[in-house]
Structures are given as C-alpha cells and as structure tokens.
Structure 1
Amino acid sequence: MFPLLMLVSSCAVYFEPEFNLTDEVAIYQVVDGDTFVISGGEYVRILGVDAPEKGEEGYHEATDFLRQFEGKAVTLESEGADRDGYGRLLRHAYVDSQSLAVTLLQESLADIYEDYNGTYYEEFLAASR
C-alpha cells in the first residue's frame, strides 16, 4: 500500500504546473503579440488570445505594444493544459494586476483564441467589444 501511495503522491507533484499564480518573474523578451520569454528562458504563450503572426496585418502593433512590458514583473496563472504543442507555457499573464490578454483585446490587438472557453471567456468577450 505504501509504494502505491508514494506513486500517487509523486504523480501529483509531477503534474503540478511549473509556474502558478503566486510566481512572479520578469518579461525578458517579447517574441510577438501573444508570446514572451521570461527570466530563466521559458517561453510563455498568453492564454486565451491570438495576436497576429509575423507577416499578418497588426503584427507589429501587437508586438510593439507588448514590448512596453519588457523588464517588468509578470504574474503567471495556469488554467488547463500546462504547455502547447511548441513547448511554451500556457498562462494568463498579469502586470500590475492587469491581465495582458484583456488589455490586448481592449486595444483590438488580439482576438479571443478560437478554442478558448475557460474561466475568463466572458471577461475576454466583454473586453473585445
């Protein structure tokens, strides 16, 4: 019984997200309008939004907007899957308690990610109007 308990408890630790709401790190470098690198080298994809990709209309505006947060402390919150298919952390991101996703939507620099229907969907919907 004890080995089974150890296995179960170790699995719980293994699946724990690497960065949680209480984790505050710095935005080291912006990659594009919805992706940035944090101190330590991890790539973070802002959860719930989709900004234009390189070569698409609005790419430079969204990327430049996010660049204003380089060097600032960012708080990360997990929801659902820990990483995407590219290995990036999937996180809600907050600078000074303000959601970067909501800000991008309010500024019309991103759209709600088509498959996102999570905790903040209604807030994102309101921000995108």
Structure 2
Amino acid sequence: MRYRRLSVQLTIALLLILVGGVLSQAAAEHYGKVSWIGDGDTITVDGVGVVRLIGIDCPEKEESDRDWKFLRLGSCDWQALRHVAQSARQRTKELCLHQVVQLQTGEERFDRYGRLLAYVWLPDGRMLNQLLLEEGQAIVYRRFDFSEKENFLTLEKKARTQQRGLWRVTKHRS
C-alpha cells in the first residue's frame, strides 16, 4: 500500500513537470497586433505589452552615450546616427504597425526594464530583427548570447560591406 501511494505521487509529480514544460514552451510564442512603435527595436503588441527585439540595437533618436557603440564599430558619423534612428523607426512602422505578428522568446524572456525579449515574425514570414540588420538599420547586440547571434553577425557584416544604412560612408565636416 505504501509503495502504491509513493508510485501515484511520483506519477503525479512527473505529470506536473511535463505539463509545466509544455505550458512554458507554449508561453514562448505569442501573437498580437502591433499598436505602437517606440523606436526601431521596441514595439508594443496588444495583449503582450512592450517588446524589445532580441539581438539588435538601433540608434536612439537623441544623442546619447550609446552612440559610441555604433561609432566604434565603424558606423556613420554622429549626425547621421539621428537620421538612421528615424529611418529605423519608420521602417519598423512600415513593416509591422497594425499587423498581427508572431513573437518568439529566447532563453531570457525579459530585459531589466520588464520588456519581453523576442524575435518578431512578420505576417509574410520574414523576421523583423533580421530585416533591420540586413538594411543596416541596426547593429548586433553583442553583450549577451542568443540563438541567432552568429547569423546576425553575418547579416551585419554583409550590410557593412554593402554600405547600407549605418554603414554608409559619410563625409565628415571640418
């Protein structure tokens, strides 16, 4: 009798673990309509909240200390960064505002600001994160590891070679 009770308890525990695993996997994918574009790499999705695109970083709309990241990598000059920031936001808006997107989270689900970290899949099947890199609207966020990092670094390098977006050669004023 005692072993039977232990067996039932173990079975229930295993079932709970399996169900919990399935539920956590299901929670890793979300769908929702994009209702707002904060900047090139931050959107708001109805029913989900603020979403930060995993693995990329777009310039800020106003000059900041973060500009050095872009400049160190060989991107355009200070003034051109503001233009790219505006362009990245506009491009993100064109691609997904008022569209239903699929969000796929990585290992880290939230950043330190409470934003959901996700790969954003557009209705046509393309990944927004990748598109922004291909167009030179963003750099790879190098500080943390993520599943698409090597692929993203390749896309960034290609955009740089093709002098797209951030990587356009600009004439510096004297």
Report TM bin, short chain.
Answer: 0.7 to 0.9
% same residue: 26
Q: Secondary structure at the match of 1:117?
A: coil
**Normalized per residue, which structure has more helix?**
2
Displacement after TM superposition at 1:116 (Å): 3.5
Quick one: which amino acid aligns to residue 78 of structure 1?
Answer: T
Pairing of 1:1-129 with structure 2 (within 5 A): 2=9, 5=13, 9=17, 12=20, 16=24, 19-21=27-29, 23-40=30-47, 42-56=49-63, 57=81, 58-68=84-94, 69-95=96-122, 96-128=124-156, 129=158
> SS at the partner of 1:82?
strand
How far the C-alpha of 1:18 sits from its partner, in A, is: 7.8
Q: Deviations over 1:39-97 (max 9, x none)?
A: 12600000000111121422111111111110111111111111111100001111021
Between 50-59 and 26-35, report the one with greater CA deviation: 50-59
Structure 1 stretches lacking a partner, 5+ long: none
User: One-letter code of the match for 2:59?
Assistant: P
CA distance, structure 1, for counterparts of residue 131 and residue 42 of structure 2: 14
Q: Any runs of at least 4 consecutive aligned residues in structure 1 with deviations exceeding 3 A, and if so which?
A: none
**Gaps in structure 2 of 5+ consecutive residues:** 1-5, 64-80, 159-174
Across the two proteins, how many residue pairs are aligned to each other? 126
CA shift for structure 1 position 111: 0.3
Report the secondary structure of 1:115's partner residue.
Answer: coil
1:125 Cα deviation (Å)? 1.6
TM-score normalised by L of structure 2: 0.63
Separation in structure 2 between the aligned mates of residue 91 and residue 102 of structure 1, nearest angstrom: 12
The change in CA–CA distance for 1:31 and 1:17 in structure 2 (over 3 A counts) is farther
Q: For residues 41 and 20 of structure 1, do their structure 2 counterparts lie closer, same or farther at Cα, with a shift above 3 Å needed?
A: closer
CA distance in 2, matches of 1:88, 1:18: 19
CA drift at 1:20: 2.6
Distance of 1:54 and 1:93 partners within structure 2:
21
